[in-house]
Amino acid sequence: MKIAVLGATGPSGIQLVKEALQRGHDVTAIVRNPDKLTDRHEKLKVVKANIFDPDSLVPHLTGQDAVLSCLGCPPSWFSLWTVTFYTDSAKSIVTALRRADVKRFIFMSAWYTKYNSSDPFMINWVLKPLFLGQSLKNMGEMEDYLETECPDIEYTSVRPPQLTNAETTGASVLHHEGQRVPSDKRVVCCRRDVARFMLDTAESGNFKRKCMAIGSG
């Protein structure tokens, strides 16, 4: 497949590019700073573009079978008050997808993007108010935008819990349509498993217009 990767310089994006190349895909890494991607491969093209400017994305999305995004906005003091990174970038990317006539868009989000009173105390009363609330809220708004305003886009929201840099065990990646993967044990997800799940999803065509919680098995 021809795959464009956004956020290819981040820790998940790097794993996604590696896994995609190992599977034999043609990969276009769309980055803001090409110097950050030092790996070279005959099937890897690294291009510079601005994710908030559809005009700069369109030439690199044209002809792709799927666009996979590992974009993320690192937490800052400002992000305690408001985050619009996910909706702003998604709107620009969708505009570019439409102009480039690409329908498949698979992106990273997270567990617990929507408020649910039955979610764990730590999530609703510690993690969200003190640390990640605005980021999770804006990821949920991005998912709502895709669901309600983009009926033409075959999106999959891939929702991991806490990410790790551990090696994959190679076991099947746990997945469940919803806010989280039901489990009695604490579930985390290594970034390589996120990459495996995103590529399995692109290759199979599964989970179109769905939000899939995942975890390392």
Q: Which residues here bind ligand NAP, judged by CB under 6 A?
A: 7, 9-13, 32-33, 36, 51, 70-74, 108, 110, 135, 160, 162-163, 191
| Residue closest to 159 by CA, chosen among 87, 214, 90, 217 | 214
Minimum Å distance from CB 50 to ligand NAP? 7
7 vs 66 by CB, closer to ligand NAP: 7
Where helices occur in the chain by DSSP H, the ranges are: 11-22, 54-61, 85-100, 121-122, 133-149, 191-204
Minimum Å distance from CB 213 to ligand NAP? 10
Minimum Å distance from CB 15 to ligand NAP? 8
24 vs 76 by CB, closer to ligand NAP: 76
What's the rounded Cα separation, in Å, for the pair 195 and 184? Answer: 25
49 vs 153 by CB, closer to ligand NAP: 49
84 vs 200 by CB, closer to ligand NAP: 84
Minimum Å distance from CB 162 to ligand NAP? 4
What's the rounded Cα separation, in Å, for the pair 26 and 19? Answer: 11
Q: Which residue has the tokens 């999106």?
A: 155
* 3-class secondary-structure state, position 126: helix
3-state secondary structure 62-119: CCCCEEEECCCCCCCCHHHCCCCHHHHHHHHHHHHHHHHCCCEEEEECCCCCCCCCCC
Minimum Å distance from CB 65 to ligand NAP? 21
Minimum Å distance from CB 214 to ligand NAP? 10
For residue 129, the 8-state DSSP code is I
Q: Whose CB is nearest to ligand NAP? A: 72
What's the rounded Cα separation, in Å, for the pair 130 and 166? Answer: 27
68 vs 100 by CB, closer to ligand NAP: 68
